[in-house]
Structure 1
């Protein structure tokens, strides 16, 4: 796990700001020793880094949404989280009666406008950047088709509660991401080092009231 704590004053308590699970086999660049202390990097520092922390989080959100069509696809390494999202999309499209029911699948992501970012300098001159992304998965079937609750995950069913079944289902996630942003001038690409992908809301987004 990678944890980010913040301290509002020199004598104040440290408080947990965010956390993310490290990707399998991930090895982080070294932080400065505790004796020297690591430098905090401001959100808009685009001079010492390949991309500013706030822009790096926004760029990663864009590749989550657009994949190869993203303007930033060449600047960010592929990773197991994006592979998982692709697998989920493929599994949904291969589900029974998907084609017959006119199924549509979409996934979108954007930086959380209220969360901000936190960044810490590494010994190599780059930074570990942590930020929050709001993402949404939308599954749509043709009019009067129904997405049944029994097809949902346990988490989705719990969040869905007693809403009626409908022809569309929107699942909203909060994604805490940790990125390694290389030092300016580096040949390396930005890469995801950790993520926490949490479903926070499920909504029946279709209307079956006119269906028999």
Structure 2
């Protein structure tokens, strides 16, 4: 085998290695089941939904997801999905249909351990739910719902897979409700907007970020670091490099008050991973998802892999002595191109 062919093969191996590693790390996010706790202390405002209404929302969203999955028809999703959840689920259904593999679609259980209902009297309104553990023993999901206006139904806005062994903060009970938190709330250790931006910087720069000390290590950070190492070594034999950049999605963050005066935040980000090799090398997609999204495009020495990323984090009150805790994430490839 010539040196050039060897380098081409190495570049392809790099793409596969990173994809397999990501799958292994995500598969490790399974158990034990996180334990939500409930605080039934009094609140001044009424919850926006009753417990029964919240159950109806979850059932309606679940029925829409089931119908779309059964028919491989993403056009049905918009009636009950919105925001990053709609974008991600649409992509997943397309990939699953192209590959003939329904396992590529994230399982979102309808049975829940806990509902978190906000007390806001304006719109948009949010509600959240912590699911039971899926039948495949992956980790429970945290689901975020939103009602844009008084005339709109609640729709699934985002979801994350909770990290193993994570302990969720306490919230007011469903009959009491939890306050929606503005993204510039000064009563927290940092504002939700700043927390998301700083976490993206930590994902991009690792220990070199000026904000690294504010966030404990977590599975997403570990995957980003290990994936970079795994990709870089083989690509280097073809004079190649790998970079990955996370960017918060504008206007795609929501926050709710915790019982201790802190906040739980759900937010969307995009990520772009660029794999580059020397002129004449060919980098091909590594995973089933990447192959489906890449299609019949001729490979080149550049492969751009785009991700839709959703994260959840807990921000303690301003006087806390602990940092921000990332609770879970979903990080899935949604685009693959040569430019």
Q: Which residue of 2 aligns with 1:104?
A: 241
Report if the CA contact (8 A) 1:105-1:138 is conserved. Answer: yes
Q: Which residue of 1 aligns with 2:308?
A: 174
Identify, as 1 or 2, the structure richer in strand: 1
- TM-score normalized by the length of structure 2: 0.56
Q: Which residue of 2 aligns with 1:209?
A: none
Report if the CA contact (8 A) 2:190-2:315 is conserved. Answer: yes
1:88-121 CA-partner distances (Å, limit 9, x unpaired):
12222343xx3321120111111112x4211011
Distance 1:119 1:133 in 2: 15
Report if the CA contact (8 A) 1:54-1:116 is conserved. Answer: no
Runs of 5+ consecutive residues of structure 2 not aligned to the other structure: 1-140
- TM-score normalized by the length of structure 1: 0.88
Q: Which residue of 2 aligns with 1:183?
A: 317
Q: Which of the residues 157, 181, 189 maps onto 1:17?
A: 157
Report if the CA contact (8 A) 2:267-2:310 is conserved. Answer: yes
Deviation at 1:86, TM superposition (A): 1.5
Deviation at 1:68, TM superposition (A): 1.4
| 1:26-175 matched pairs, under 5 angstroms | 26-45=166-185, 47-95=186-234, 98-113=235-250, 115-149=251-285, 152-175=286-309
Identify, as 1 or 2, the structure richer in helix: 2
SS at match of 1:119: strand
Report if the CA contact (8 A) 1:20-1:194 is conserved. Answer: yes
Distance 1:65 1:87 in 2: 13
Moved over 6 A (4+): none
Distance 1:76 1:93 in 2: 25
Matched residue count: 199
Measured at CA, do residues 28 and 143 of structure 1 come closer, stay the same or move farther in structure 2, by a change above 3 Å? same
Distance 1:158 1:122 in 2: 41
Runs of 5+ consecutive residues of structure 1 not aligned to the other structure: 206-212
Distance 2:222 2:228 in 1: 10
